[in-house]
C-alpha cells in the first residue's frame, strides 16, 4: 500500500513492471531486499485514526504544537495497541501550526486547528527534511538544499526536489490530533 | 511479492536474453589477473585504468596535433538524473557504465548499441545522501557492482543476469556504497560509505566466484587492538572513517592502498585523540586484509577533510635515487609524498597545493601536522578555515602521465569554509554529524577572488608546480591523461569537457555537453579507432557546492541534470 497511494488503482508491483516492459528495459534477476520482510504494525504507513507522538510516551493534543514554532518530528501511533509506527523512515511526519487565516482552501481542509502535517522525507533523494528556516517558514533538506514552503502546499522553492512534500490530512478526535487519511502523494523519491 | 517478479524476469529472459547469451558468451574475453596487472592499451579494465591509479591511457592516435578535430562518435542517454561519476570501462569492445540508482548498462563500445541493462530495486526508505555510483569492476566473466543499499552484486558480463548478490552491511544503519569495487587476486574488494551516519567503516574482500565473504578490516581498531586507545570511550563504535573510493594496488608486494575518510561526528573535541585510522591511507595485505602500514595525513579532523581518494603508485626520482612512492593530493590541501615500504608507509614530504591556513607546521620526520587552534571548529564555536570542507580536492581523481612526468590535480583554490559545531544525538540510520549542513558556509578568501577552479600540473621529480589553468567556479572534474600528450577533464558548471596539452596546459579542444561533467573519462580502442568517453551528469556534491557558492555570492547558477554518455573520435578519413 505504501508505495501506491498516489498511483492508479492497479497493483503496485504489476504497474511498475508494466512500465519497465513498455520502456524496453530487460529485467534480469530483479531483487528487492525490502520485499522479503513481513510487514509489521510499526512499519505500516499512517492509518486513518492513528494518533501522533514524539517519543511514544503520549499522544499529542493540538496545544502541543505552537504557532509558527519549528516543526515537530512525530510518528503515527495506533491508539488501540499503542504501537508507534517508527519502524520505517517513511513515517517521519512534520507538524507545523500556522495562522488559519493564511491557509488556502486545500490546506485548510487538511489542517486541524491550523496544524498541518507533511512528510519529513525529501522527494529528491529521501533524506530527512531536518532543517527549519523560521523567517521564511521553509522546510529545508540539508542533503541537497531543497526547500519547501509550508505556507503553500510545501511547494518546492529551491533545490533539486522534483515535487512538493506529501501532506497528511489531520483532524481531531476527542482531545487528540489524529490522522484523517493517507499521504496525498508517494513519500520519498519516485523511482524512474 | 518476490515470486511474481522472478517469474516475469525469467519470462523476459527467455524472450530476449537467451539468444544474446548464446551468441556472446563464448566471445567475452575473461578478465584475468595477468590482464589486470598489465592491461592492453586498447582496454580500460578498471576504475583508473590500471592498479597504480594513474588514469593514464597509452593510446596515442588522438594527439595534440589533431585533437581539435575530435567529434562525438555517438551518445547515449541513461534516462537518469543526479551525478553520473562512473568511468566507461571497456573490455575488447564491450563497455560497462553505471548510473545513479545502481543501473549498469552494457554497450557495444564501437556503435553505442545497448547490449543489456541491469537495474536494482532499491528500498523506498533508503536515505541517499550521495545518489551516485563510480563504476563496475571486471573479473573473469563477471561484472561487479557495489550498491547504495550496501550489497555487492555479480552480474554475468554477457547477459547482465545476476550470478550472486551478497549483503555487505545493513543500509538501515547508514551503510551504503558508491565506489567501484577493486578486483584482484581472486577477490572483489569494497569499502563502505556512511561516515555521516555514525557507522564504523571497513574494507572487505569477497570471493569473486562465489561472493563468499572473506577478510574484513575495520578502519577503526576494535577494543584491545592497537590504535583503539586513540578514541575515547565507545566513540570508536560510531566513529565513521568510511572508505568510499576504490583503492590502488601494488601487485608486486600484493598490497592494497586504500584512503579513509574523516572521523565522525565532525567536531574533534567530541572524540579527543588521533582517531586512528581516520583521514589516512592504509596498506593492506590483499590475501588477509592485515594492516601492513598506514599514514595518517591529519589527526582528529574537524573540517570534514576525508582522504578517501587513494594514492597513486609512482616511482619518483629524488636526489638521484628512485623511490617507490605514494602520491596523494589531499582534501586537506597538501600534496603528500609517501614511501611504499614492505611493512610500513614512510613519510617523504608534503606541501600545500592550495591556500591552507590550518596547519602551522609539518614534522619533517613523521609528516604530523600541528594546527592553528583558531581555525578548528568546536561545539558552539564558529571557525573559518581554508580550504573549505570540500578541500583542495575532493574525490575526483588526479592523473599521472609517465611521458611528461607530471601529476594533474583537479584543484579548488581560494575557497574557505566555516563550521559551527552543534551537539549531536545518535539515531540509527539518521545523520550523526554534529553540524548543521544548512549552516555550513563556503566563501572565497578576501585576498583572492579571481577564480576558484584549477587544473594543476606538478613535476613529481622536482616536487614543483609547472602550470595552472584557472576556472571562474569550482572544478569537480576527474582526469584522464593519454599517450597522445593530452589531458581530458570537465568538472566546471559551464558543461564543457576539455582537452589540454599535457605539457603546457593549453586548451586545445572543448565540447559543451548536456550537463556538467563529473564523470571519470576513459580512452579505449576498437577496430583501430581510439575513442575518448565520459559521462556528463551534474549532481551530488558538485551541485551542493554550487548551491553554497550561489548563496555566498548572491547568484543563481542553473546546471541542468540528466545523464548522457559521450563518446568522441576523430573523423574517419
Sheet with B507-512, side-by-side order of all strands: B56-57, B479-482, B486-489, B496-501, B507-512
Q: What is the 3-state secondary structure (H, E, C) of B157-210?
A: CCCCCEEEEEECCCHHHCCECCCCCEEECCEEEEECECHHHCCECEEEEEECCC
Tell me the chain B residues in contact with residue A29 when contact means C-beta distances shorter than 8 Å. Answer: 9, 118, 155, 161-162
Q: What part of A 98-127 touches B (C-beta under 8 Å)?
A: 125-127
- Domains of chain A (ranges, CATH numbers): 1-37 (no CATH), 38-179 (2.102.10.10)
Question: Do B420 and B382 contact (CB within 8 A), yes or no?
Answer: yes
| Cα gap B538→B559, rounded to integer Å | 7
What residues 153-172 of chain A have any CB closer than 8 A to a CB of chain B?
159-160
Determine the pLDDT at residue B547: 87
Given CB atoms, is A38 within the 8 Å cutoff of chain B?
Answer: no
Interface test with B, best of A7, A26, A88 (most B CBs within 10 A): A26
pLDDT at position A192 is 59
First to last CA, chain A: 19
B364-411 pLDDT, tens digit each: 999 999 999 999 999 999 999 999 999 999 999 999 999 999 999 999
Mean pLDDT (whole number) for A2-25: 32
- CB-based contact A126 B80, cutoff 8 Å: no
- Residue A190: pLDDT band (50, 70, 90) is confident
d(C-alpha B406, C-alpha B77), whole Å: 34
Sheet holding B291-296, edge to edge: B248-250, B255-259, B280-285, B291-296
Distance from CA of B122 to the nearest CA of A (A): 7
The cell 503496485 sits on which residue?
A: A12
What distance in Å separates residue A68's CA from the closest CA in chain B?
20
How does residue A7 score in pLDDT terms, banded at 50, 70 and 90? very low
Q: In this structure, are residues A121 and A141 in contact, taking their beta carbons and an 8 Å threshold? A: no
Task: Indicate the burial class of A34 (C-beta count within 10 angstroms; 0-12, 13-18, 19 or more).
Answer: middle
Optimal mutation site among B127, B422, B551, interface A, most CBs of chain A within 10 A? B127
Q: Which residue in chain B has the smallest CA separation from A192? A: B80
B9, B125, B129: residue with CB nearest A30: B9
Contact indicator for B208, B186 with CB cutoff of 8 Å: yes
Tens digits of residue pLDDT in A129-172:
999 988 888 999 988 889 999 877 899 998 889 999 999 999 99
Cβ under 8 Å to A: B residues 371-430 = 429-430
C-alpha count within 13 angstroms, C-beta hemisphere, residue A30:
25
A33 CB neighbours in chain B (<8 A) are 123, 149, 151, 167
Residues in contact with B107: Cβ distance below 8 Å, sequence separation at least 6, in sequence order = B76, B94, B95, B96, B97, B113, B114, B115, B565
The one catalytic residue among B149, B156, B274, B304: B304
Select from B3, B123, B549 the residue whose CB has the most chain A CBs within 10 Å, as the one to mutate to test that interface: B123
User: Is residue B53 within 8 Å of B63, Cβ to Cβ?
Assistant: no
Contact B119 A30 (CB under 8 A): yes
Predicted TM-score (pTM) of this structure:
0.90
Terminus-to-terminus CA distance in chain B, angstroms?
55
B121 → closest Cβ in A26, A32, A188: A32
Please indicate whether residue B494 is annotated as part of the active site: no
All 3 cell numbers of residue B50?
Answer: 590500471
pLDDT computed for residue A33 by the predictor: 44
Q: Which helix H or strand E contains A72, and what residues bound it?
A: strand A72-77
Which of the 8 DSSP states describes residue A151?
A: T
Q: Where on the phi/psi map is residue B495: left (φ > 0), alpha (ψ -120 to 50), or beta?
A: left
Nearest CA in chain B to A92: B125
pLDDT band at A20 (very low <50, low <70, confident <90, very high): very low
**Which residues in chain B are closer than 8 Å to A140, comparing Cβ atoms?**
438
CB of A46 less than 8 A from some CB of B: no
In angstroms, what separates the C-alpha of A116 from chain B's closest C-alpha? 23
Say what the ipTM of the complex is. 0.77
Cis peptide before B262 (omega within 30 of 0): no
pLDDT at A12: 30
More reliable by pLDDT, A31 or B349: B349
Contacts of B124 in chain A (CB under 8 A): 2-3, 34, 90, 126, 187-188
Between CA A10 and CA B33 the distance in angstroms is 50
Which of A84, A167, A122 lies closest to B127, judged by CA?
A122
Tell me the shortest Cα–Cα distance from A176 to chain B, in angstroms: 27
Residue among A28, A126, A188 whose CB faces B9 most closely: A28
Q: Which of A14, A29, A35 is nearest to B11 (CA)?
A: A29
- What integer pLDDT is reported at residue A83 of this predicted model? 96
Beta carbons of A32 and B1 less than 8 Å apart: yes
HSE, CB side, 13 Å, CA atoms: give it for residue B432: 25
Task: With CB atoms and an 8 Å threshold, state whether B162 touches A187.
Answer: no
- Give the angle B307-B313-B317 at the CA atoms, nearest 5°: 120
Q: If contacts are CB pairs under 8 Å, which of residues 116-175 in chain B contact chain A?
A: 116-129, 131, 149, 151, 155, 159-162, 165, 167
Residues A142, B120: C-beta atoms closer than 8 Å: no
A5 vs B: CB within 8 A: no
Q: Which residues of chain B have pLDDT under 70?
A: 1-26
Neighbour count for residue A20 (Cβ, 10 Å)? 17
Close Cβ partners of B433 (under 8 Å, ≥ 6 residues apart) = B196, B264, B265, B266, B424
Quote the CA–CA distance of B208 and B185 in Å, as a whole number.
9
* Residue B426, phi-psi category: left (phi > 0), alpha (psi -120 to 50), beta (remainder): beta
Using CA atoms, how far apart are residues B469 and B478, in angstroms rounded to an integer? 15
Write out residues 181-220 of B within 8 Å (CB-CB) of A: none
Amino acid at each position: 500500500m505504501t508505495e501506491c497511494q498516489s498511483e492508479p488503482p492497479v497493483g503496485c508491483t504489476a504497474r511498475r513492471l508494466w512500465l519497465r516492459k513498455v520502456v524496453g528495459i530487460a529485467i534480469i534477476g530483479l531483487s528487492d531486499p525490502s520485499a522479503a520482510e513481513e510487514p509489521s504494525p510499526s512499519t505500516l504507513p499512517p492509518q486513518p485514526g492513528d494518533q501522533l507522538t514524539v517519543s511514544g510516551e503520549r499522544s499529542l493534543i493540538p496545544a502541543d504544537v505552537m504557532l509558527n514554532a519549528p516543526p515537530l518530528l512525530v510518528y503515527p501511533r495506533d491508539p488501540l495497541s499503542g504501537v508507534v509506527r517508527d519502524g520505517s523512515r517513511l513515517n517521519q511526519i512534520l507538524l507545523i501550526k500556522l495562522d488559519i487565516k493564511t491557509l488556502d482552501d486545500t490546506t485548510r481542509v487538511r489542517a486541524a486547528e491550523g496544524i498541518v502535517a507533511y512528510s519529513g522525507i525529501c522527494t529528491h533523494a529521501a533524506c530527512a527534511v531536518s532543517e527549519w528556516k523560521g523567517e521564511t517558514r521553509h522546510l529545508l533538506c540539508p542533503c541537497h538544499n531543497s526547500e519547501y514552503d509550508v505556507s503553500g502546499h510545501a511547494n518546492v522553492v529551491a533545490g533539486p526536489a522534483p515535487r512538493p512534500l506529501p501532506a497528511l490530512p489531520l483532524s481531531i478526535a476527542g482531545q487528540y490530533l489524529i490522522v484523517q487519511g493517507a499521504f496525498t502523494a508517494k513519500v520519498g523519491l519516485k523511482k524512474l | 511479492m518476490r515470486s511474481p517478479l522472478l517469474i516475469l524476469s525469467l519470462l523476459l529472459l527467455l524472450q530476449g536474453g537467451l539468444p544474446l547469451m548464446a551468441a556472446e558468451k563464448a566471445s567475452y574475453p575473461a578478465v584475468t589477473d595477468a590482464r589486470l596487472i598489465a592491461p592492453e592499451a586498447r582496454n580500460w579494465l578498471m576504475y583508473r585504468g590500471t592498479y597504480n591509479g594513474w588514469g593514464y591511457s597509452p593510446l596515442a592516435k588522438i594527439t595534440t596535433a589533431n585533437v581539435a578535430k575530435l567529434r562525438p562518435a555517438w551518445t547515449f542517454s541513461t534516462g537518469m538524473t543526479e551525478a553520473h561519476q562512473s568511468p566507461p570501462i571497456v573490455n575488447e569492445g564491450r563497455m560497462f557504465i553505471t548510473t545513479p540508482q545502481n543501473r549498469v548498462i552494457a554497450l557495444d563500445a564501437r556503435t553505442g548499441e545497448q547490449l543489456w541493462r541491469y537495474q536494482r530495486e532499491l528500498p523506498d526508505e533508503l536515505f541517499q545522501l550521495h545518489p551516485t555510483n563510480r563504476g563496475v569492476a571486471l573479473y573473469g566473466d563477471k561484472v561487479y557492482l557495489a550498491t547504495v543499499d550496501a550489497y555487492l552484486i555479480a552480474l554475468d558480463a554477457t547477459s547482465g543476469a545476476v550470478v550472486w548478490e551478497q549483503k555487505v552491511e545493513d543500509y538501515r544503519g547508514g551503510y551504503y556504497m558508491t565506489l567501484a569495487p577493486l578486483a584482484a587476486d581472486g577477490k572483489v574488494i569494497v569499502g563502505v560509505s556512511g561516515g555521516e551516519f555514525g557507522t564504523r567503516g571497513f574494507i572487505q574482500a569477497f570471493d569473486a566466484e562465489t561472493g563468499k565473504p572473506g577478510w574484513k578490516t575495520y578502519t577503526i581498531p576494535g577494543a584491545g587492538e592497537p590504535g583503539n586507545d586513540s578514541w575515547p570511550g565507545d566513540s570508536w563504535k560510531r566513529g565513521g572513517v568510511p572508505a568510499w573510493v576504490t583503492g590502488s594496488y601494488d601487485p608486486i608486494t600484493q598490497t592494497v592502498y586504500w584512503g579513509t575518510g574523516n572521523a565522525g561526528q565532525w567536531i574533534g573535541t567530541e572524540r579527543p585523540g588521533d582517531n586512528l585510522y581516520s583521514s589516512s591511507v592504509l596498506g593492506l595485505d590483499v590475501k588477509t586484509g592485515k594492516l601492513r602500514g598506514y599514514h595518517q595525513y591529519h589527526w582528529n579532523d574537524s573540517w570534514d577533510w576525508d582522504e578517501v581518494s587513494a594514492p597513486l603508485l609512482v616511482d619518483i626520482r629524488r636526489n638521484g635515487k628512485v623511490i617507490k612512492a605514494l602520491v596523494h593530493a589531499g582534501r586537506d590541501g597538501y600534496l603528500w609524498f609517501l614511501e611504499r615500504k614492505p611493512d610500513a608507509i614512510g613519510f617523504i614530504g608534503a606541501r600545500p597545493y592550495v591556500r591552507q591556513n590550518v596547519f602551522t607546521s609539518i614534522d619533517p620526520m613523521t609528516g604530523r601536522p600541528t594546527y592553528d587552534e583558531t581555525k578548528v571548529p568546536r561545539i558552539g564555536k564558529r571557525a573559518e578555515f581554508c580550504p573549505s570542507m570540500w578541500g583542495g580536492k575532493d574525490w575526483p581523481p588526479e592523473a599521472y602521465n609517465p611521458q611528461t612526468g607530471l601529476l594533474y590535480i583537479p584543484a579548488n583554490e581560494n575557497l574557505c569554509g566555516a563550521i559551527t559545531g552543534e551537539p549531536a544525538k545518535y539515531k540509527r540510520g539518521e545523520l550523526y554529524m554534529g553540524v548543521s549542513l544548512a549552516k555550513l558556509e563556503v566563501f572565497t578568501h578576501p585576498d583572492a577572488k579571481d577564480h576558484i577552479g584549477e587544473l594543476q600540473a606538478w613535476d613529481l621529480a622536482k616536487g614543483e608546480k609547472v602550470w595552472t589553468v584557472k576556472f571562474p567556479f569550482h572544478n569537480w572534474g576527474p582526469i584522464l591523461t593519454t599517450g597522445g600528450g593530452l589531458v581530458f577533464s570537465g568538472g566546471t558548471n559551464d558543461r564543457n569537457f576539455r582537452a589540454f596539452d599535457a605539457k603546457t596546459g593549453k586548451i586545445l579542444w572543448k565540447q559543451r555537453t548536456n550537463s556538467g561533467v563529473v564523470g571519470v573519462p576513459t580512452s579505449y580502442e576498437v577496430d583501430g579507432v581510439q575513442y575518448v568517453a565520459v559521462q556528463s551528469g551534474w549532481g551530488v556534491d558538485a551541485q551542493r557546492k554550487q548551491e553554497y557558492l550561489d548563496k555566498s555570492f548572491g547568484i543563481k547558477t542553473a546546471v541542468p541534470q540528466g545523464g548522457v554518455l559521450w563518446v568522441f573520435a576523430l573523423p574517419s578519413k
